[in-house]
Structure 1
């Protein structure tokens, strides 16, 4: 009878992928509740649909790759990708868009590179960018917050709009409109001053009405992840500071070119990107200095795309572009080996 010998280490640590992903999902719960409060139950419908599709796609790919189902399906990585993507798409986006985005993210951005731990790009952002490039109109029209809507969305109306495209004889265009970032960008092109634009009903105290509170909740969730040491401070702090600095400099030079620095911090996907997207440990930089460079690059590119690019928000594109630079960043930010000569 053969003798099997175990090899060290024999002590099991607490740093588990499942625990990591579970804490990220827990941190996202308040944000899901806040978005549901402001944009209606379509958010929950999208999240549920995305998670189901992600788990089914993950199981199919694991089967095709002859990998065990239980350990990989239960690690939570597919669910995190699904939830992040679902929170990034409009609440009433057609069901087939969510299916396409999640399926593409799991297959092409994750398993095609070897699965979890090998993907060079953030899967959720790859799925999001695919949808944004393919369906720009559907991806840039969001519901107004419930307090602004003439007919707030309920469960029945949300389900009908998501799965049939119509409710009460009207399609989704009758219920949705431009986001605050898109409205700011479009009206600035029409030579309207940002202060005048910010006084409109779509905008709140600092950013888009509702969006500013959603970003605050994302930031609070991110701070909880920092407290739990699930993520480090380097990427979110660098991204937020870089976005704040470049927007402040631009505003000082020409205050008519964009909204205020605070507007950019609490609008769009800023805090979602800073704490939940750019902090991805697989597709991001591995060195401490590299994380600061990575985060700063995401912040700068986000602002550049918002102001001079063709899309109202630039977080997804910024993250993917910086993902491409990670090998270069890591190469030039390696810590000096103790006792070794400096370069």
Structure 2
């Protein structure tokens, strides 16, 4: 027998997508939301985005060089982390705070746990949580077209009934007060002409980006669809004043559902596990928004569910064909 075969460990069939290509598609899909943020919230948003991306990439480069590791910034994962962190910050955040959050995300949350694929929680969300604890005033100051005020979720927190919200939104529409700090029509919520974090305000842009990721097979529909649907159903069950549609369009739900909860490293591998994970995220988000002291619950719900992923994977692992049920 003269033929020789190469023997190696799996995988033996390689998909056309590698880490760099996947991250590049994520960056492309995030561009519409960033453009909407810069358009509606001002040029300061661009400075925050640039700071986070540059510091995240620089932090990963320096850490890997100092630690004697192979430099992997070319895989674009650090750039994605920086962009996602920037999208979770208000446009008025001081740039030094954004830089501190970027270093925290890359060094403490990602590299301390082994780098890409080793982190146990989403680095951008962990950095946002740290910044919210450290600088609560700067992290909750919102402006749109130079006017400061409450976000739609904060406004919703103070309303006692759906009728009150409907009446307030109708009044805002009739007076064309698109820059009102509290009152916003559903159209303004959809396009992003509201106060909030840079990348979370435009539901239309985020839906477009999410559709691109699903179309390219980068993410599955399971987590975003189940997550958003769970929040919508529970908002109706809990009697939230704005109603399901308002609840879905406001805050960071779209950004979290399509770009944060679907992170490969911190989400379940199995299909059943993804359903459980997404439903848990939706439940926690609805509970925090309804009964918590903080008007938004997306970041904390995803971080909490990130910690349950090993257990979810263990409980939902498919049974091997022919194996006896325990």
Report the TM range for the smaller structure's normalisation.
Answer: 0.7 to 0.9
8 Å CA contact 1:121, 1:283 repeated in 2 = yes
Q: Which residue in 2 is equivalent to 1:130? A: 130
Q: In the alignment, is residue 186 of structure 1 matched against residue 158 of structure 2?
A: yes
* CA deviation after TM superposition for structure 1 residue 207, in Å: 6.7
* CA deviation after TM superposition for structure 1 residue 55, in Å: 1.1
Q: Secondary structure, in 3 states, of the residue corresponding to 2:158?
A: helix
Higher mean displacement: 299-308 or 7-16: 7-16
- C-alpha distance 10-285 of structure 1, shift in aligned 2 (>3 A): closer
Q: Secondary structure, in 3 states, of the residue corresponding to 1:120?
A: coil
* CA deviation after TM superposition for structure 1 residue 206, in Å: 6.0
Q: Which residue in 1 is equivalent to 2:83? A: 83
* CA deviation after TM superposition for structure 1 residue 106, in Å: 0.5
Q: Secondary structure, in 3 states, of the residue corresponding to 2:308?
A: helix
Q: In the alignment, is residue 342 of structure 1 matched against residue 325 of structure 2?
A: yes
Q: Secondary structure, in 3 states, of the residue corresponding to 1:89?
A: coil
CA distance in 2, matches of 1:142, 1:192: 26
- What's the CA shift string for 1:299-336, capped at 9, x where partnerless? 11111111211222111100000011111111111112
Q: Which residue in 2 is equivalent to 1:170? A: none
- Counterparts of 1:70-219 in structure 2, within 5 Å, are 72-144=72-144, 146=145, 149=146, 175-188=147-160, 193-199=164-170, 200=172, 201=177, 202-205=183-186, 208=189, 210-211=193-194, 214-219=202-207
- What's the CA shift string for 1:246-280, capped at 9, x where partnerless? 112222xxxxx432111111111111001000000
* CA deviation after TM superposition for structure 1 residue 15, in Å: 2.6
8 Å CA contact 2:110, 2:123 repeated in 1 = yes
8 Å CA contact 1:235, 1:295 repeated in 2 = yes
Higher mean displacement: 178-187 or 19-28: 178-187
CA distance in 2, matches of 1:68, 1:79: 17
Q: Which residue in 1 is equivalent to 2:307? A: 324
Residue of 233, 241, 249 corresponding to 2:237: 249
Unaligned runs of 5+ in 2: 178-182, 195-199
* CA deviation after TM superposition for structure 1 residue 239, in Å: 0.2
8 Å CA contact 1:207, 1:267 repeated in 2 = no
8 Å CA contact 1:298, 1:315 repeated in 2 = yes
- What's the CA shift string for 1:229-250, capped at 9, x where partnerless? 0001111111011111111222
Structure 1 vs Structure 2 CA RMSD: 2.3
Q: Which residue in 2 is equivalent to 1:168? A: none
8 Å CA contact 1:194, 1:258 repeated in 2 = yes
Q: Secondary structure, in 3 states, of the residue corresponding to 1:74?
A: helix
Q: Which runs of 4+ in 1 moved over 6 A?
A: none
Higher mean displacement: 204-213 or 29-38: 204-213
- C-alpha distance 64-197 of structure 1, shift in aligned 2 (>3 A): farther
TM-score normalised over the length of structure 2: 0.87
8 Å CA contact 2:38, 2:45 repeated in 1 = yes
CA distance in 2, matches of 1:329, 1:314: 21
Residue of 233, 247, 256 corresponding to 2:221: 233
Higher mean displacement: 213-222 or 264-273: 213-222
Q: Which residue in 2 is equivalent to 1:49? A: 51
* CA deviation after TM superposition for structure 1 residue 102, in Å: 0.9
TM-score normalised over the length of structure 1: 0.83
Q: Secondary structure, in 3 states, of the residue corresponding to 2:314?
A: helix
Q: Which residue in 2 is equivalent to 1:166? A: none
